[in-house]
Every structure is written in structure tokens, then in C-alpha cells.
Amino acid sequence: MTALALTGSPLWYASRASGTLALVLLTATVVLGIASGGRAAPRRLGRFEIGRLHRDLSLLTLVFLAVHVVTAVLDPFVHLGWAVSVVPFTASYRPLWLGLGTTAFDLLLAVLVTSALRLRLGVRRWKAVHWLAYAAWPFALFHGVGTGTDTRLSLQLWLYAGCLASVVGAVWWRLAKAGPGRVTGRLTAALAATAVPVVLTAFLAAGPLQPGWAQRAAATTILAGSGR
């Protein structure tokens, strides 16, 4: 049992809480997107209701994400600056792991803009960008695990496990219901759904759950010298 240290600014608490909520909401959005994309139709709900819920949850995700980013930048403990919110891997605080979050945010912004212009862009171009949402989710998850100061809390770990199980479950459910054809796509989905939990577990065991993670996370950069 890890005790919460009740120190730090309210902004810091707001940032952690909104980040965690954004991950949960993004997970729900992704699960709905995966589950409703196939042929299987829900019995009690209309398909349009699922579509609306997918859209509304995604917008709610972005609201909490905005709160998460703004509070993290304003928090005086880490001096981030506004550029960090859109330019990945340039932060002074845990540059690599924070950069994953920035990347996820950028991807979701691209998905938001193209979805708003969907009728003008046409389905092919919209869909091409919408695929990025599948990349944004694991980026957000690894960002949470690697940057989050709550990762060692057992409740937070259970929450990550729940998010992971929901998305992986949705992928397998969709694959089980899928018909023949698109073998490459289905194989890729199955591989990704297997790889993400394995990599995440290995990363957790090797990184955030080991002592001294804060020092190591602070030192990890993609480009030498990009972190101060």
C-alpha cells in the first residue's frame, strides 16, 4: 500500500486526475470504435447511438486532455512551456515519456480536425487519418505508465490493466466476429493486441516498478542533448 503524499499544488492533482480520466475515456472511445466497426450489430441499441456515443466520448476525452495539458504546463513544479504541448520530445521533464503523450495529443488533434471535415474530405482521406487513433491509444498508455507519478499505486495499475483488457478484448471480439478476407489487417490486429500487453508488462517490470525510475525517466531522451 503506497500512501499518497498530500503535498504539491492543486494543478498537479488536477493534471494527474484529468490525465487518468482522459485515458479511461479514450479507452472507452477506442473500444466502441473497434467493436462497432465490424458487421456485428448490437441488439438493444441502434447503431447510430453507438456512433453518437463514440463521437461524444471522444470529444469528452479531448476536454479532459485539454485540462490535463493546461494544468501540467501551468504547474510550477515542472517548467514545461507551451511548446511542449504540441512539439513532442522537447520537454525538460521525462522527455521521452512526456513526448509520447504529446504525440498522442497531436494524433488525436489530427483525428478531430479530419472528423470535423469528414463530409468534405471524403471517406478515404478521413479514414486514413482516423487510423492514427489506434496509434494514439498505446502512446497515451505508455505515456501514462512512464510519466505518471501514480504508476506504482496498485489502484492505478489495476486501472491500466482494465484499460488494456478492454481494448485487447474488443480487438479479439471483433476478430472472432470478422468474416474472411483482409488477412493482413486481421493478422496485424492480432499481433498488435498480443504485443502491446507483453511489451507493457515487460516495460513496467523493467522500468516504472523498479526503484530509481524517476532518475532514469528524467535521463531518457530520444536525441542526445534534447533534454536539459
Partner 1 sequence: MTRTRTLRIDRIACTGQGLCAELLPELIDLDEWGYPIAGDPAVPDRLRTHARRAVAACPRLALHTDDDPA
- Positions in the binding site for partner 1 (CB under 8 A): 37, 41, 46-48, 51, 118-119, 122-123, 126
State the cell numbers at 158: 489495476
Read off φ and ψ for residue 111, nearest 5 degrees: -65, -40
Closest approach of partner 1 to the CB of residue 87, in Å: 33
User: Residue 134 Cβ, how far from partner 1 at the closest point, in Å?
Assistant: 16
Q: How far is the CB of 196 from partner 1 (least distance, A)?
A: 25
Least distance in angstroms from the C-beta of 155 to partner 1: 37
Q: Which is nearer to partner 1, 113 or 209 (by Cβ)?
A: 113
* Element spanning 76, H or E: none
Closer CB to partner 1, 41 or 128, in the complex:
41
How far apart CA 22 and CA 16 sit, in angstroms, is 10
Helix ranges restricted to H, the chain: 10-36, 47-74, 95-116, 118-121, 123-130, 132-147, 154-177, 183-206, 213-219
In the bound state with partner 1, the residue whose beta carbon lies nearer, of 179 and 212, is: 179
Nearer to partner 1, 126 or 172 (CB): 126
CB count in 10 Å sphere of residue 77: 12
Tell me which residue of 209, 197, 214, 193 sits closest to 156, measured CA to CA: 209
- Measure the CA–CA gap between 136 and 115, rounded to whole angstroms: 15
Q: Whole-number minimum distance, CB 52 to partner 1, in Å? A: 8
Nearer to partner 1, 126 or 203 (CB): 126
